[in-house]
Amino acid sequence: MGSLDSVFVSLKKAQAELASADRAAKDAALRAAFLAIDEDRAAILAANSRDMEKARENGMKDALLDRLLLNDKRVDGMISGVETVIRQEDPVGKIRSGWRMPNGVLIEQTAVPLGVAAIIYESRPNVTVDAFCLAYKAGCAILLRGSSSALESNRALVKAVKKGLDAGGGVSGAVALAGSGNRGEVDEILGARGFIDVVLPRGGKDLIRRVVSNARVPVIETGEGNCHIYVEPSADMEKAVEIIANAKLQKPGACNAVETLLVRRDALGLLMPRLAERLAGKAELRCDAESGAACAAQGLPPGLVIKDASEEDWGIEFLDYILAVKTVSSADEAVDHINRYGTKHSEAILTGDINAAEQFRRRVDAACVYVNASIRFTDGGEFGFGAELGISTQKFHARGPMGLEALTTIKYLVSGSGQIRKT
Protein backbone atom coordinates (compact mmCIF):
# COMPACT_ATOMS: atom_id res chain seq x y z
CA MET A 1 0.00 0.00 0.00
CA GLY A 2 1.33 3.44 -0.91
CA SER A 3 1.10 6.44 1.36
CA LEU A 4 -1.20 8.22 -1.11
CA ASP A 5 -3.60 5.35 -1.88
CA SER A 6 -6.42 6.74 0.27
CA VAL A 7 -5.85 10.21 -1.22
CA PHE A 8 -6.21 8.84 -4.75
CA VAL A 9 -9.51 7.14 -3.84
CA SER A 10 -10.86 10.27 -2.14
CA LEU A 11 -9.94 12.51 -5.09
CA LYS A 12 -11.65 10.20 -7.56
CA LYS A 13 -14.81 10.15 -5.47
CA ALA A 14 -14.76 13.93 -5.03
CA GLN A 15 -14.25 14.51 -8.76
CA ALA A 16 -17.35 12.48 -9.57
CA GLU A 17 -19.30 14.77 -7.22
CA LEU A 18 -17.74 17.96 -8.57
CA ALA A 19 -18.40 16.96 -12.19
CA SER A 20 -22.14 17.40 -11.63
CA ALA A 21 -21.84 20.86 -10.06
CA ASP A 22 -23.10 23.79 -12.11
CA ARG A 23 -21.26 27.04 -12.68
CA ALA A 24 -23.06 28.93 -9.91
CA ALA A 25 -22.09 26.34 -7.31
CA LYS A 26 -18.46 26.22 -8.45
CA ASP A 27 -18.16 30.00 -8.54
CA ALA A 28 -19.66 30.34 -5.06
CA ALA A 29 -17.18 27.81 -3.70
CA LEU A 30 -14.25 29.57 -5.38
CA ARG A 31 -15.40 32.90 -3.97
CA ALA A 32 -15.47 31.43 -0.47
CA ALA A 33 -12.00 29.96 -1.05
CA PHE A 34 -10.39 33.28 -1.90
CA LEU A 35 -12.11 34.93 1.04
CA ALA A 36 -10.58 32.27 3.29
CA ILE A 37 -7.13 32.93 1.78
CA ASP A 38 -7.55 36.61 2.57
CA GLU A 39 -8.78 35.82 6.08
CA ASP A 40 -5.81 33.49 6.73
CA ARG A 41 -3.28 35.85 5.15
CA ALA A 42 -1.21 36.30 8.30
CA ALA A 43 -0.83 32.56 8.84
CA ILE A 44 0.07 32.04 5.17
CA LEU A 45 2.75 34.74 5.22
CA ALA A 46 4.14 33.40 8.51
CA ALA A 47 4.43 29.93 6.98
CA ASN A 48 6.17 31.39 3.96
CA SER A 49 8.61 33.23 6.18
CA ARG A 50 9.62 29.89 7.69
CA ASP A 51 10.15 28.44 4.21
CA MET A 52 12.21 31.45 3.19
CA GLU A 53 14.39 31.20 6.27
CA LYS A 54 15.15 27.53 5.60
CA ALA A 55 15.84 28.24 1.92
CA ARG A 56 18.35 30.97 2.79
CA GLU A 57 20.06 28.66 5.27
CA ASN A 58 20.34 26.05 2.51
CA GLY A 59 21.99 28.56 0.16
CA MET A 60 19.18 29.00 -2.36
CA LYS A 61 20.18 31.67 -4.90
CA ASP A 62 18.35 34.99 -5.07
CA ALA A 63 16.41 34.34 -8.29
CA LEU A 64 14.96 31.14 -6.82
CA LEU A 65 14.25 32.81 -3.48
CA ASP A 66 12.12 35.27 -5.43
CA ARG A 67 10.11 32.35 -6.81
CA LEU A 68 9.44 31.14 -3.30
CA LEU A 69 8.55 34.49 -1.73
CA LEU A 70 5.02 35.45 -0.77
CA ASN A 71 4.04 38.94 0.36
CA ASP A 72 0.84 40.94 0.51
CA LYS A 73 1.10 41.93 -3.14
CA ARG A 74 1.49 38.32 -4.25
CA VAL A 75 -1.36 37.13 -2.06
CA ASP A 76 -3.49 39.88 -3.59
CA GLY A 77 -2.39 38.60 -7.00
CA MET A 78 -3.51 35.06 -6.18
CA ILE A 79 -6.89 36.33 -5.03
CA SER A 80 -7.23 38.45 -8.16
CA GLY A 81 -6.44 35.39 -10.26
CA VAL A 82 -9.25 33.41 -8.61
CA GLU A 83 -11.64 36.32 -9.19
CA THR A 84 -10.72 36.32 -12.90
CA VAL A 85 -11.34 32.57 -13.14
CA ILE A 86 -14.74 33.06 -11.50
CA ARG A 87 -15.66 35.62 -14.19
CA GLN A 88 -14.74 33.28 -17.01
CA GLU A 89 -17.25 31.06 -18.76
CA ASP A 90 -17.50 27.52 -17.47
CA PRO A 91 -16.02 25.31 -20.21
CA VAL A 92 -17.78 22.17 -18.97
CA GLY A 93 -20.80 21.28 -21.07
CA LYS A 94 -19.92 23.76 -23.78
CA ILE A 95 -20.90 22.51 -27.25
CA ARG A 96 -17.78 22.97 -29.36
CA SER A 97 -19.38 21.87 -32.60
CA GLY A 98 -22.34 19.91 -33.89
CA TRP A 99 -23.74 18.51 -37.10
CA ARG A 100 -26.56 16.34 -38.38
CA MET A 101 -25.82 13.36 -40.59
CA PRO A 102 -27.88 12.57 -43.71
CA ASN A 103 -29.64 9.81 -41.77
CA GLY A 104 -30.86 12.35 -39.20
CA VAL A 105 -28.45 11.45 -36.38
CA LEU A 106 -27.29 14.55 -34.48
CA ILE A 107 -23.63 14.54 -33.35
CA GLU A 108 -22.44 17.13 -30.82
CA GLN A 109 -18.91 17.57 -29.51
CA THR A 110 -19.00 18.81 -25.92
CA ALA A 111 -16.36 19.67 -23.31
CA VAL A 112 -16.06 17.55 -20.17
CA PRO A 113 -13.56 17.54 -17.26
CA LEU A 114 -10.33 15.61 -17.72
CA GLY A 115 -10.91 14.01 -14.31
CA VAL A 116 -8.30 13.88 -11.56
CA ALA A 117 -5.19 15.94 -12.27
CA ALA A 118 -1.89 16.01 -10.42
CA ILE A 119 0.62 18.83 -10.63
CA ILE A 120 4.23 18.39 -9.49
CA TYR A 121 5.96 21.74 -9.12
CA GLU A 122 8.95 23.51 -7.61
CA SER A 123 8.92 26.52 -5.28
CA ARG A 124 6.25 29.03 -6.42
CA PRO A 125 3.53 28.59 -3.77
CA ASN A 126 1.24 30.73 -5.95
CA VAL A 127 0.94 27.67 -8.23
CA THR A 128 -0.96 25.98 -5.39
CA VAL A 129 -3.83 28.43 -5.72
CA ASP A 130 -3.60 28.87 -9.50
CA ALA A 131 -3.80 25.13 -10.15
CA PHE A 132 -6.56 24.59 -7.62
CA CYS A 133 -8.90 27.29 -8.94
CA LEU A 134 -8.47 26.29 -12.59
CA ALA A 135 -9.02 22.63 -11.82
CA TYR A 136 -12.06 23.31 -9.66
CA LYS A 137 -13.75 25.53 -12.26
CA ALA A 138 -13.04 22.89 -14.93
CA GLY A 139 -14.68 20.22 -12.77
CA CYS A 140 -11.42 18.42 -11.98
CA ALA A 141 -10.09 17.21 -8.66
CA ILE A 142 -6.41 18.02 -8.17
CA LEU A 143 -3.49 16.60 -6.24
CA LEU A 144 -0.86 19.22 -5.48
CA ARG A 145 2.72 18.10 -4.98
CA GLY A 146 4.95 21.10 -4.37
CA SER A 147 8.61 21.10 -3.47
CA SER A 148 9.89 20.60 0.07
CA SER A 149 11.20 24.18 0.02
CA ALA A 150 7.59 25.49 -0.07
CA LEU A 151 6.03 22.87 2.18
CA GLU A 152 4.90 25.19 5.00
CA SER A 153 3.47 27.72 2.53
CA ASN A 154 1.56 25.08 0.59
CA ARG A 155 0.12 23.51 3.73
CA ALA A 156 -1.19 26.90 4.88
CA LEU A 157 -2.68 27.70 1.48
CA VAL A 158 -4.42 24.34 1.08
CA LYS A 159 -5.77 24.56 4.63
CA ALA A 160 -7.32 27.93 3.79
CA VAL A 161 -8.70 26.71 0.47
CA LYS A 162 -10.36 23.66 2.02
CA LYS A 163 -11.82 25.79 4.81
CA GLY A 164 -13.26 28.13 2.21
CA LEU A 165 -14.73 25.33 0.11
CA ASP A 166 -16.48 23.90 3.16
CA ALA A 167 -17.86 27.33 4.04
CA GLY A 168 -19.06 27.90 0.49
CA GLY A 169 -20.79 24.56 0.08
CA GLY A 170 -18.11 23.25 -2.25
CA VAL A 171 -16.39 19.90 -2.59
CA SER A 172 -13.36 20.27 -0.33
CA GLY A 173 -12.25 16.72 -1.11
CA ALA A 174 -11.51 17.83 -4.67
CA VAL A 175 -8.19 19.34 -3.61
CA ALA A 176 -5.41 17.53 -1.77
CA LEU A 177 -1.78 18.20 -0.95
CA ALA A 178 0.88 15.51 -1.07
CA GLY A 179 2.50 17.19 1.87
CA SER A 180 4.91 14.77 3.51
CA GLY A 181 7.92 16.09 1.59
CA ASN A 182 8.90 12.49 0.83
CA ARG A 183 10.36 12.10 -2.69
CA GLY A 184 8.61 8.75 -2.98
CA GLU A 185 5.31 10.63 -3.37
CA VAL A 186 6.31 11.57 -6.91
CA ASP A 187 6.79 7.94 -7.91
CA GLU A 188 3.41 7.03 -6.42
CA ILE A 189 1.71 9.76 -8.44
CA LEU A 190 3.44 8.77 -11.67
CA GLY A 191 2.29 5.18 -11.26
CA ALA A 192 -1.32 5.87 -10.22
CA ARG A 193 -3.04 4.43 -13.29
CA GLY A 194 -6.79 4.37 -12.89
CA PHE A 195 -6.72 7.20 -10.34
CA ILE A 196 -4.72 10.07 -11.86
CA ASP A 197 -5.93 11.03 -15.34
CA VAL A 198 -3.17 13.53 -16.13
CA VAL A 199 0.00 14.77 -14.47
CA LEU A 200 1.64 18.13 -15.12
CA PRO A 201 5.29 18.70 -14.18
CA ARG A 202 6.18 22.35 -13.63
CA GLY A 203 9.78 23.14 -12.81
CA GLY A 204 13.32 22.60 -14.01
CA LYS A 205 14.52 20.19 -16.65
CA ASP A 206 15.49 17.48 -14.14
CA LEU A 207 11.96 17.35 -12.72
CA ILE A 208 10.36 17.39 -16.16
CA ARG A 209 12.62 14.63 -17.49
CA ARG A 210 11.95 12.50 -14.42
CA VAL A 211 8.21 12.80 -14.88
CA VAL A 212 8.23 12.21 -18.63
CA SER A 213 10.59 9.22 -18.32
CA ASN A 214 8.79 7.47 -15.46
CA ALA A 215 5.10 8.33 -15.76
CA ARG A 216 2.63 5.52 -16.35
CA VAL A 217 -0.18 8.09 -16.58
CA PRO A 218 -0.66 10.73 -19.32
CA VAL A 219 1.58 13.80 -19.05
CA ILE A 220 1.12 17.36 -20.28
CA GLU A 221 4.71 18.51 -20.45
CA THR A 222 5.55 22.02 -19.33
CA GLY A 223 9.01 22.75 -20.60
CA GLU A 224 12.00 24.67 -19.40
CA GLY A 225 12.45 28.09 -20.98
CA ASN A 226 15.62 28.57 -22.98
CA CYS A 227 14.13 31.64 -24.67
CA HIS A 228 15.64 34.01 -27.24
CA ILE A 229 15.26 37.56 -28.52
CA TYR A 230 16.54 38.32 -32.03
CA VAL A 231 17.32 41.95 -32.98
CA GLU A 232 17.50 43.38 -36.49
CA PRO A 233 18.99 46.80 -37.44
CA SER A 234 15.53 48.14 -38.37
CA ALA A 235 14.35 47.80 -34.75
CA ASP A 236 13.73 50.83 -32.55
CA MET A 237 16.88 50.48 -30.46
CA GLU A 238 15.65 52.44 -27.43
CA LYS A 239 12.62 50.18 -27.19
CA ALA A 240 14.75 47.12 -27.92
CA VAL A 241 17.04 47.85 -24.97
CA GLU A 242 14.08 48.17 -22.59
CA ILE A 243 12.41 45.01 -23.94
CA ILE A 244 15.62 43.02 -23.45
CA ALA A 245 16.18 44.49 -19.98
CA ASN A 246 12.61 43.65 -18.98
CA ALA A 247 12.91 40.10 -20.28
CA LYS A 248 16.16 39.51 -18.39
CA LEU A 249 15.92 41.57 -15.20
CA GLN A 250 12.30 41.62 -14.11
CA LYS A 251 12.18 37.98 -12.99
CA PRO A 252 15.25 36.01 -14.12
CA GLY A 253 14.09 32.85 -12.36
CA ALA A 254 10.95 32.63 -14.53
CA CYS A 255 10.69 30.27 -17.48
CA ASN A 256 9.75 33.19 -19.76
CA ALA A 257 12.91 35.18 -19.06
CA VAL A 258 15.31 35.68 -21.99
CA GLU A 259 18.46 33.57 -21.85
CA THR A 260 20.10 34.26 -25.24
CA LEU A 261 20.17 37.44 -27.30
CA LEU A 262 20.77 37.06 -31.04
CA VAL A 263 21.93 40.21 -32.82
CA ARG A 264 22.28 40.63 -36.56
CA ARG A 265 25.80 41.71 -37.36
CA ASP A 266 24.79 45.09 -38.79
CA ALA A 267 22.82 45.87 -35.60
CA LEU A 268 25.69 45.32 -33.16
CA GLY A 269 26.94 48.91 -33.17
CA LEU A 270 23.41 50.25 -32.77
CA LEU A 271 22.40 48.00 -29.90
CA MET A 272 25.29 46.68 -27.85
CA PRO A 273 26.77 49.93 -26.41
CA ARG A 274 23.31 51.00 -25.21
CA LEU A 275 22.51 47.54 -23.86
CA ALA A 276 25.87 47.32 -22.09
CA GLU A 277 25.15 50.57 -20.29
CA ARG A 278 21.61 49.46 -19.40
CA LEU A 279 22.70 46.12 -17.94
CA ALA A 280 25.92 47.30 -16.24
CA GLY A 281 25.90 46.15 -12.65
CA LYS A 282 22.65 44.27 -13.18
CA ALA A 283 23.42 41.29 -15.40
CA GLU A 284 26.46 39.42 -16.64
CA LEU A 285 26.93 39.20 -20.42
CA ARG A 286 28.42 36.10 -22.03
CA CYS A 287 29.35 37.35 -25.48
CA ASP A 288 30.87 35.93 -28.61
CA ALA A 289 33.87 37.85 -29.96
CA GLU A 290 31.94 40.28 -32.18
CA SER A 291 29.22 41.23 -29.69
CA GLY A 292 31.80 41.61 -26.93
CA ALA A 293 33.87 43.95 -29.09
CA ALA A 294 30.74 45.99 -29.89
CA CYS A 295 30.06 46.42 -26.16
CA ALA A 296 33.55 47.82 -25.66
CA ALA A 297 33.62 50.01 -28.79
CA GLN A 298 32.73 53.15 -26.81
CA GLY A 299 34.40 52.05 -23.59
CA LEU A 300 32.96 49.60 -21.07
CA PRO A 301 30.55 51.19 -18.60
CA PRO A 302 31.43 50.80 -14.90
CA GLY A 303 30.13 47.59 -13.35
CA LEU A 304 29.66 45.70 -16.60
CA VAL A 305 30.72 42.06 -16.41
CA ILE A 306 31.51 40.42 -19.77
CA LYS A 307 32.73 36.86 -20.19
CA ASP A 308 33.46 34.85 -23.31
CA ALA A 309 30.51 32.74 -24.37
CA SER A 310 31.01 29.00 -24.79
CA GLU A 311 29.09 26.55 -26.94
CA GLU A 312 27.49 25.24 -23.75
CA ASP A 313 25.99 28.66 -22.99
CA TRP A 314 23.61 28.47 -25.95
CA GLY A 315 21.77 25.54 -24.40
CA ILE A 316 21.50 26.74 -20.79
CA GLU A 317 18.44 28.04 -18.97
CA PHE A 318 20.43 30.25 -16.59
CA LEU A 319 17.54 31.27 -14.31
CA ASP A 320 19.88 34.02 -13.17
CA TYR A 321 21.15 37.49 -14.05
CA ILE A 322 23.13 36.12 -17.01
CA LEU A 323 22.52 36.81 -20.70
CA ALA A 324 24.30 35.00 -23.52
CA VAL A 325 24.83 37.08 -26.68
CA LYS A 326 25.51 35.69 -30.16
CA THR A 327 26.10 37.47 -33.47
CA VAL A 328 24.22 36.15 -36.50
CA SER A 329 24.48 37.11 -40.15
CA SER A 330 20.78 36.85 -41.02
CA ALA A 331 17.28 36.05 -39.82
CA ASP A 332 17.75 32.58 -41.31
CA GLU A 333 20.72 31.95 -39.03
CA ALA A 334 18.77 33.28 -36.03
CA VAL A 335 15.82 30.98 -36.74
CA ASP A 336 18.12 27.99 -37.21
CA HIS A 337 19.81 28.74 -33.87
CA ILE A 338 16.48 29.09 -32.06
CA ASN A 339 15.06 25.88 -33.52
CA ARG A 340 18.25 24.03 -32.54
CA TYR A 341 18.76 25.30 -28.99
CA GLY A 342 15.33 26.60 -27.95
CA THR A 343 12.88 24.69 -25.82
CA LYS A 344 9.80 25.66 -27.89
CA HIS A 345 8.64 28.08 -25.20
CA SER A 346 8.77 31.80 -26.09
CA GLU A 347 10.80 33.54 -28.79
CA ALA A 348 10.84 37.14 -30.06
CA ILE A 349 12.00 39.27 -32.97
CA LEU A 350 12.57 43.02 -32.63
CA THR A 351 12.35 44.58 -36.07
CA GLY A 352 10.80 47.31 -38.20
CA ASP A 353 10.52 44.95 -41.18
CA ILE A 354 7.01 43.52 -41.50
CA ASN A 355 8.10 40.79 -43.89
CA ALA A 356 10.93 39.68 -41.58
CA ALA A 357 8.50 39.55 -38.67
CA GLU A 358 6.04 37.40 -40.62
CA GLN A 359 8.74 34.97 -41.76
CA PHE A 360 10.01 34.69 -38.17
CA ARG A 361 6.51 33.93 -36.92
CA ARG A 362 6.03 31.21 -39.51
CA ARG A 363 9.37 29.50 -39.14
CA VAL A 364 10.12 29.55 -35.41
CA ASP A 365 8.88 26.43 -33.65
CA ALA A 366 7.61 27.64 -30.28
CA ALA A 367 4.42 27.86 -28.26
CA CYS A 368 4.54 31.69 -28.24
CA VAL A 369 6.23 33.91 -30.83
CA TYR A 370 6.50 37.68 -30.26
CA VAL A 371 7.13 40.69 -32.47
CA ASN A 372 8.42 43.85 -30.77
CA ALA A 373 7.33 42.90 -27.26
CA SER A 374 8.80 41.31 -24.16
CA ILE A 375 8.52 37.55 -23.87
CA ARG A 376 7.63 38.03 -20.20
CA PHE A 377 3.98 38.17 -21.29
CA THR A 378 3.88 34.37 -21.68
CA ASP A 379 1.76 33.83 -18.61
CA GLY A 380 -1.81 32.75 -17.96
CA GLY A 381 -2.61 35.93 -16.05
CA GLU A 382 -1.17 38.16 -18.77
CA PHE A 383 -3.12 36.20 -21.41
CA GLY A 384 -6.35 36.89 -19.53
CA PHE A 385 -6.77 33.37 -18.08
CA GLY A 386 -6.58 34.58 -14.47
CA ALA A 387 -4.13 31.82 -13.64
CA GLU A 388 -2.24 29.04 -15.36
CA LEU A 389 -1.28 25.44 -14.84
CA GLY A 390 2.01 26.07 -16.61
CA ILE A 391 3.35 26.69 -20.11
CA SER A 392 2.99 23.65 -22.31
CA THR A 393 5.78 23.25 -24.86
CA GLN A 394 4.39 20.08 -26.40
CA LYS A 395 2.04 19.91 -29.36
CA PHE A 396 -0.72 17.53 -28.31
CA HIS A 397 -3.83 18.56 -26.38
CA ALA A 398 -2.52 21.88 -25.04
CA ARG A 399 0.22 24.34 -25.97
CA GLY A 400 1.37 27.62 -24.41
CA PRO A 401 -0.17 29.03 -21.20
CA MET A 402 -2.74 26.54 -19.96
CA GLY A 403 -6.01 27.82 -18.57
CA LEU A 404 -9.42 26.24 -18.10
CA GLU A 405 -9.65 24.66 -21.56
CA ALA A 406 -6.47 22.64 -20.92
CA LEU A 407 -8.26 20.70 -18.17
CA THR A 408 -11.11 19.59 -20.40
CA THR A 409 -11.44 16.91 -23.01
CA ILE A 410 -14.25 16.05 -25.40
CA LYS A 411 -17.27 13.78 -25.31
CA TYR A 412 -19.47 13.10 -28.34
CA LEU A 413 -23.19 13.22 -27.71
CA VAL A 414 -25.09 11.32 -30.37
CA SER A 415 -28.90 11.65 -30.66
CA GLY A 416 -31.16 9.70 -32.94
CA SER A 417 -34.74 8.60 -33.46
CA GLY A 418 -34.33 4.88 -34.01
CA GLN A 419 -31.63 4.88 -36.72
CA ILE A 420 -29.60 1.70 -37.24
CA ARG A 421 -26.41 1.18 -39.22
CA LYS A 422 -27.01 -0.73 -42.43
CA THR A 423 -23.47 -1.20 -43.81
Strand partners, 348: 229, 370
- How high is the pLDDT of residue 71? 97
Q: Which residue has the higher pLDDT, 393 or 268?
A: 268
Summarised one tens digit per residue, pLDDT across range 232-279 is: 999 999 999 999 999 999 999 889 999 999 999 999 999 999 999 999
Residue 1 has pLDDT above 70, yes or no: no
Q: Are 144 and 180 in contact (CB under 8 A)?
A: no
Residue 92 has pLDDT above 60, yes or no: yes
Name the range with the highest mean pLDDT among 294-303, 337-346, 376-385: 337-346
Judging by DSSP bridges, how do beta strands 346-350 and 227-231 pair with one another?
parallel
Amino acid at 292: G
DSSP-derived letter for residue 200 is E
Residue 223 has pLDDT above 80, yes or no: no
Summarised one tens digit per residue, pLDDT across range 130-151 is: 999 999 999 999 999 999 999 9
- How high is the pLDDT of residue 270? 97
Domain ranges of the chain: 5-222+389-415, 227-377
User: Domain 5-222+389-415 belongs to what topology?
Assistant: Aldehyde Dehydrogenase; Chain A, domain 1 (3.40.605)
Question: Does this chain's domain 5-222+389-415 share its CATH topology with 227-377?
Answer: no
What does the alpha-carbon distance between residue 28 and residue 144 come to, in Å, rounded to a whole number? 22
Binning pLDDT at 50, 70 and 90, where does residue 299 land?
A: confident
Calculate the average pLDDT of the chain.
Answer: 95
Q: How much is the average pLDDT of 329-338?
A: 98
> Nearest-CA neighbor of 308 among 325, 296, 329, 328?
325
Amino acid at 58: N
Q: Residue 294 — left, alpha, or beta (φ > 0 → left; ψ -120 to 50 → alpha)?
A: alpha
Q: Does CATH place domain 227-377 in 3.40.309.10?
A: yes
Q: How much is the average pLDDT of 204-231?
A: 90
Q: Which residue has the higher pLDDT, 264 or 1?
A: 264
- pTM, entire model: 0.86
**DSSP characters for 288-304?**
-HHHHHHHHTT-PPTT-
- How high is the pLDDT of residue 343? 93
- How high is the pLDDT of residue 234? 98
Say which residues have a Cβ less than 8 Å from residue 238's Cβ, sequence separation at least 6: 274
Summarised one tens digit per residue, pLDDT across range 95-117 is: 999 999 999 999 999 999 999 99
Binning pLDDT at 50, 70 and 90, where does residue 85 land?
A: very high
Residue 160 has pLDDT above 60, yes or no: yes
Q: How much is the average pLDDT of 406-419?
A: 95
Summarised one tens digit per residue, pLDDT across range 344-384 is: 999 999 999 999 999 999 999 999 999 999 999 999 889 98
What does the alpha-carbon distance between residue 270 and residue 289 come to, in Å, rounded to a whole number? 16
Residue 337 has pLDDT above 90, yes or no: yes
Q: Are 110 and 127 in contact (CB under 8 A)?
A: no
